[in-house]
Amino acid sequence: MKVPVLPSLSVPPQSFVEDLAAWLALPVREVRNTTYLPELTRYYGLLHPLPGDLRPSLTFRVCLACLAKERFLKRTLALRYVLYCPWHQVTLLSTCQCGTPLRIFDPATMPFTCGACGRDWTDLPRIAPTPERIAVTRQLLSCYEYFFFCGKPTLMEKAFLAVVNAWQEEIIREREHPPRRSPRMHSYPRLPSNHVPSLCLLVLDLVKYHLYHDPKVIFWGKEDWEQEGE
Ligand SMILES: [Zn+2]
Ligand SMILES: [Zn+2]
């Protein structure tokens, strides 16, 4: 079986899911449920969602506590801008202490160890997230949860239109009152193959423009997560 590249881990082709299920002797549905295929299929109304429908790229990150406990790699940690583990309050790591990026599939090293210095990932220092990061991530996770639970094409269209309106208002505002800050790149949703914005960028903008706000979760300012973008 061909080892998939990183982005297709959370949104793999159906044929890969079927091969893996046969290889592990598990029901196809069980393997499929470890990915975001069921949610994205419903959300986009498409039979075969692509990795770009979830997010444009994927940086591999791990929670050291999830890993130490059960060698667990939760699919939630693949969501963009989720930079700490909400179960363990630990900042996710993408590089070893020696600076080498963590690689999930490295044929030359033992699983969950650094390919350069040999350190076990669970021995890496755990870093507590800032209260700002916790507040922002909770808003994002609440929004993701909402879409994963009841996402469908009409809802996506409504959300996207709300974001487009917010962009227009922002552009008009900035024309009238140019901001003093240095110009920065905007993360407007890129359109993947099916011409709809990737879910991660849509969620990000919904939270950023206060279009999605879970009152149960404290909202911080947009400044915090703007500086911690990927
Ligand atoms: Zn964790
Ligand atoms: Zn290392």
Q: Decide if pLDDT at 184 tops 90.
A: no
Q: Which ligand is nearest to the CA of 109?
A: 2
In 3D space, the residue among 45, 48, 19 whose CA is nearest the CA of residue 31 turns out to be: 19
Read off the pLDDT of residues 124-159 as tens digits, 9 standing for 90 and up. Answer: 999 998 888 888 888 889 999 888 888 888 888 888
Give the predicted TM-score (pTM) of the model: 0.77
Q: Report helix, strand or coil for 93.
A: strand
Distance 38 CA to ligand 1 centre (A): 23
Q: What is the mean pLDDT of residues 32-58?
A: 84
Domain locations in the chain?
151-220
Distance CA 171, CA 209 (A): 13
Distance 86 CA to ligand 1 centre (A): 7
CB 63 within 8 A of CB 45: no
Distance 3 CA to ligand 2 centre (A): 23
Percentage of the chain modeled with pLDDT above 90: 20
Q: Decide if pLDDT at 25 tops 80.
A: yes
Angle subtended at Cα 11 by Cα 8 and Cα 12, rounded to the nearest 5 degrees: 60
Q: Which ligand is nearest to the CA of 121?
A: 2
Q: What is the mean pLDDT of residues 81-103?
A: 89
